[in-house]
Structure 1
């Protein structure tokens, strides 16, 4: 019988307090730590390695006690680990998909045997993760390991993948990247934050027990600089980072110029809208928002948007539900002043304060707090500090609610509460986020693609869509590893164009003057300057505009006006527009072939072949418009989930020198077929085929402003594209210096980057563009879309 001093179930229910904490002593986890003398080293070549003479740092539990110490890896440790990973990749990649699947399935069984130890170690290190979620990951990606060779026959693993995760991320965020990378046949080096390292090392050991080849999975521990050091190793082929926006920006700049593709997930402290409509079950919605906003370990910062007609009802329910809730610990004691300042400012601006209790005089504890009636520009609503704060804003119509929700700089996720399914789906479609939950929140499953938008990241995790970041088409060369150049980022692309004095000028032939295409109109460059275009023999063919920053700005303004309407068009309507573009190109194929021949010097037969392939390529993109549209996901839980590709927005494309027409129509078709607007920068060396293609654009029914063509210096226009905040992606074919500049610059605001070294691509003579492999067009299409997933519970 319970003692008289114990709370009854009724008392707990009335106060909404949690029950008594578990009295577990974490015996299994501590026993595992004792096996390693509470001093954990690296995990490399299939075993624990404790190099001597290294710095160490301590991992502490929630009470400040020491859990264990970790070794800080140095350069020679990283080099040794990368070498073993390269050997592990060879052994792991040579296995059949069936054998890789068997290893992952054995790991699922192993995890089930060690559930208690994994769970206790995660809790000790303040990185809780249910082992069942890890088991589900192993089972799900075992299936993809089995099917990769069948369903993705023309894709190949990248090699050694480095997964860098900061300690403020969840433990699950490591393995949602590691499992698919391994399933696709890559080797993985994990660089976890301090509190994530002990359970990561335990899982690496369990992988070996399941039969993973030595070196296929490594764990490197250390301070915040270790991730950048790992990226500098030439054995690494791909880099992915998870953490906060600020740390991600620093990491992107540290790794710029190393010739590494990088994807980032910046979901930590991302602001996510929680929208309650008047048609919602208010009691359920309020219970859910309290659970999401005030739990200790939350992945995101929620902002509550309530329809005006039910704002008072929601506020009253919040006041009742929050009464008596316990204080929540802040990430660190220094955050206390930020929280106090935000609350004080909100109250001074007229917000109504709802708190579970009075705040303690000092310390890292703070009561759950709601700030009701905030104005949208309030700093507490725009950038709330970390902690148990819930900003509350009101809206009148559904359109206004979606517009207010889209004002946040992040686009990670949203929760919608309404009993009207039509309203829920329409709102989900209009939100600029990657994941939407209807009448639920924070539901995850590896089959559920989660894609960051805007400042939340540029990668997709989960589902089939999340596999492609760890693969590349077999016919496509990877980005060449390099050493960062000594580059002045402030002056890159700002030098004025050099005036060219042509030699051997023939007064009997006057070169033609060309115009660029901006906003549906032919125009000169804003600067009024021109560049001389020469044939391979040195003869002057034409003068083309020398575009710059102002021309890019005009093109973006035109694109932003027309792109939303183009995206809303039906796929069939977009297909008809692309078919008309293909037909008009066919009508001018002789003129286009002559232009290519005069500009590049290739034979007229080769030029005609390039035009023919370009016509077919545009028809291919037209046919694809309504063929790849996502679908319904199969889930282990009750409920339904939908996943669909959406347009990125405005895409800047810097074209290569090889295949000047075919490369243009291939990338243009990929971008506009899914609803993007595009700003094309033709080859600086061979711009005339792109300028002649403008006449094809004018004769088609492509909306004015959807496609702009701006000629000029490659570096100057790359600089303009990179620094425009409304350009959402940059596809670049050019120098390694240009790739380095884009990686360094396009991390704030974050852009999707698709980078290629022109020198490497030119070695195949442009065969990449005309290659018949379906994976080439598949790669282009996937670079042109982001994914949105909608979860709808049914029970």
Structure 2
């Protein structure tokens, strides 16, 4: 069957809305449009070079005004009952129905296509969560003011997928949209006000580039959340028909390659050029195509490329090399690289070779093979014999460089909440620091004298064995009051971290594939091992921290209980099936992150260690732990428990030494997927600055004397918060019709 004739749509309503604003859109602050006269403006053009409108570029004063309005808006919005917030969101659905034509047309004009029906579905879904927040998500509190920053290639739907759950949970929102999304975002804010949203609860700031988002993030009242940005028929629809937030790579089994390429050629006949964001993007596309051809790719185009301009024809690059830049780091534009494979295993290896992991589409007649492949792929969404289906009930985590947060479903709501039992970390101004010098200070020298020649020496733990640091050096551990030497511990470094990660990566895939009940039994055995060693471990706590013997024994008992809790938790939360409006089945699956680096807290050194360790291994991760530099002995004494346990060798590794130096080593290791850090403000900022290439999931806490988390608490949100930081989510959609 051939595609029908293209129907030319009218955009009269959207043009009238733009004319009403004199085609000059201002900022949206405190419930109304604000058009400062002395601001720089940015022109928005369509793919043919025609003028759409101009957009005001916000400055520091606008950010401060917006933040103040958002604080007031948060108080008013969060002060409403859950039912009242739900009614506002439902009312917006009605308002959107009345003005859906304007929204749809404006998205089309701005090339940020989004169906009003999809927005209405989002509103229906999140209004119900607003209604049930205190019932189904008890003991969690909204963060406050949330900033949602999106890139130029983000659709209005993806923007709404962040804004609506934040509002549903009771936060106020500052939106910093991309260039093409700015007009629809401003229109949506206007409709929100018509639905009864309090002034200041939703604000929109526009600017010349993404640096505006960074400036908003620096405001101390703001919590930042940033968005990154038949088989052949499905491929054509995904790769060329829609505005792309996902750059696709097509993997085809060699036995059917000729047939697939022939069908691609047929379906591409008559397809017109696709508009790019700018002429500069055209240069990048031309360079990517030329480089792919030089590496042996075969070029297939729907029509001849124009000599210049911000347009390019739909293009297939057949038989690309796996390491080709158009595969690993795709350029903007309608390019579809095609690679071949022989076996399913090879297909998974090639798919996981990419540094990105947002979504995958699997086309096969073998459902068992499809599910096995879906589970093996490191991506956030998998569609079976379908493509680009979406629904807000499905949780989706970006994998690898595609992001670290979870959107959609109940799981996606927790990024806008914090446990009621603890306060969120206060925002502070960025520290002035030289990142290249962080962690470069040498460890203090040990000068031998009569008082420290004979002291107990603790080793580190790598690959299931106690061992010395690669450097052969040691650090002196001081008693609670300072002065003198209590013991010595290994002074680990980059090579030790590398050895520990190599041991962890070998065993983690097998540990992750174990059944939850098998992991539970192993964690139970670890608790029994701690119980058998409780007197020795209590003595190490007593000697190291200065706690009384009774207090030290109490911490050991709490630690045994905490490990038993994690063992029981292993098979209790495992995702499930979700109701979706379309026919078919949808699965949500929590998965392990991989290798997690943990820099341990000073407070409650044993209890905090087993709490974090239990969260990581119970969910299928491997661990590289750095003990508290101030109180390392309880963790080092715990190595005896690890040696006698039946944990796989290499699953848990302990590297002692200078905290800052080891933090740098963890941050710069490409295999480590997440870092949990308790330490200085400089360390937190260093990790935020460094862990972006490759992207790591961060769980940070700036610890201060006599402050921070009370690890002895048994509040139900404690385990839940740790568990949610230890997993990433995958959704699998299997249509039946």
* Shorter-normalised TM range: over 0.9
Q: Match for residue 189 of structure 1?
A: 174
Instruction: Tell me how far 1:483 sits from its aligned partner.
Output: 2.0
1:770 aligns to what SS in structure 2?
coil
Say whether 1:29 aligns with 2:9: no
Contact 2:47 2:275 in 1 (8 A): no
2:106 corresponds, among 100, 103, 121, to 121
Say whether 1:80 aligns with 2:25: no
Contact 1:502 1:540 in 2 (8 A): no
1:186 and 1:546, CA in 2 relative to 1: closer, same or farther beyond 3 A?
Answer: same
1:334 aligns to what SS in structure 2?
helix
Q: Match for residue 517 of structure 2?
A: 572
1:233 corresponds, among 202, 215, 219, to 219
Say whether 1:492 aligns with 2:438: yes
2:35 corresponds, among 31, 35, 50, to 50
Structure 2 length-normalised TM = 0.97
1:681-760 superposed matches below 5 A: 681-759=626-704
1:469 aligns to what SS in structure 2?
helix
Q: Which runs of 5+ in 2 are unaligned?
A: none
Say whether 1:99 aligns with 2:84: yes
2:590 aligns to what SS in structure 1?
strand
Instruction: Tell me how far 1:384 sits from its aligned partner.
Output: 3.7
2:570 corresponds, among 622, 625, 632, to 625
> Counterparts of 1:52 and 1:96 in 2: how far apart (Å)?
39
Say whether 1:771 aligns with 2:731: no
1:582-731 superposed matches below 5 A: 582-731=527-676
Say whether 1:168 aligns with 2:144: no
> Counterparts of 2:189 and 2:275 in 1: how far apart (Å)?
31
Contact 2:622 2:652 in 1 (8 A): yes
Instruction: Tell me how far 1:208 sits from its aligned partner.
Output: 1.2
Instruction: Tell me how far 1:17 sits from its aligned partner.
Output: 6.9
1:205 corresponds, among 190, 194, 198, to 190
User: Which whole-Å deviations, capped at 9, do the CAs of 1:203-258 have from their partners, x for residues lacking one?
Assistant: 1111111111111111112222321221121211x21112xxxxxxxxxxxxxxxx
> Counterparts of 1:435 and 1:677 in 2: how far apart (Å)?
24
Contact 1:17 1:326 in 2 (8 A): no
1:150 corresponds, among 135, 152, 156, to 135
Q: Match for residue 279 of structure 1?
A: none
> Counterparts of 2:621 and 2:501 in 1: how far apart (Å)?
12
> Counterparts of 2:94 and 2:57 in 1: how far apart (Å)?
32
> Counterparts of 1:640 and 1:518 in 2: how far apart (Å)?
43
2:365 aligns to what SS in structure 1?
coil
Instruction: Tell me how far 1:502 sits from its aligned partner.
Output: 8.6
Q: Match for residue 439 of structure 1?
A: 385
Say whether 1:554 aligns with 2:540: no
1:428 corresponds, among 362, 374, 394, to 374
> Counterparts of 1:37 and 1:371 in 2: how far apart (Å)?
44
1:482 aligns to what SS in structure 2?
coil
1:544 and 1:405, CA in 2 relative to 1: closer, same or farther beyond 3 A?
Answer: same
Q: Match for residue 8 of structure 1?
A: none
Moved more, 120-129 or 328-337: 328-337
Say whether 1:180 aligns with 2:165: yes
Contact 2:220 2:429 in 1 (8 A): no
> Counterparts of 1:372 and 1:42 in 2: how far apart (Å)?
45
Contact 1:306 1:392 in 2 (8 A): yes
1:456 corresponds, among 390, 395, 402, to 402
> Counterparts of 1:746 and 1:351 in 2: how far apart (Å)?
34
Q: Which runs of 5+ in 1 are unaligned?
A: 1-12, 243-265, 269-283
> Counterparts of 2:12 and 2:322 in 1: how far apart (Å)?
49
Say whether 1:290 aligns with 2:236: yes
Q: Match for residue 781 of structure 1?
A: 723
Runs of 4+ that moved beyond 4 A: 500-503
Say whether 1:510 aligns with 2:510: no
2:671 aligns to what SS in structure 1?
coil
User: Which whole-Å deviations, capped at 9, do the CAs of 1:430-481 have from their partners, x for residues lacking one?
Assistant: 0000100000111111111121000100111110110010011112232232
Instruction: Tell me how far 1:120 sits from its aligned partner.
Output: 1.6
Instruction: Tell me how far 1:604 sits from its aligned partner.
Output: 1.4
Structure 1 length-normalised TM = 0.90
When the two chains are superposed, the root-mean-square deviation of aligned CA atoms in Å is: 1.7
Contact 1:62 1:124 in 2 (8 A): no
> Counterparts of 2:69 and 2:12 in 1: how far apart (Å)?
33
Instruction: Tell me how far 1:296 sits from its aligned partner.
Output: 5.0
Q: Match for residue 464 of structure 2?
A: 520
Contact 2:314 2:335 in 1 (8 A): yes
Q: Match for residue 26 of structure 2?
A: 41
Moved more, 188-197 or 51-60: 51-60
> Counterparts of 2:550 and 2:542 in 1: how far apart (Å)?
9
1:354 corresponds, among 300, 305, 308, to 300
1:714 and 1:33, CA in 2 relative to 1: closer, same or farther beyond 3 A?
Answer: same
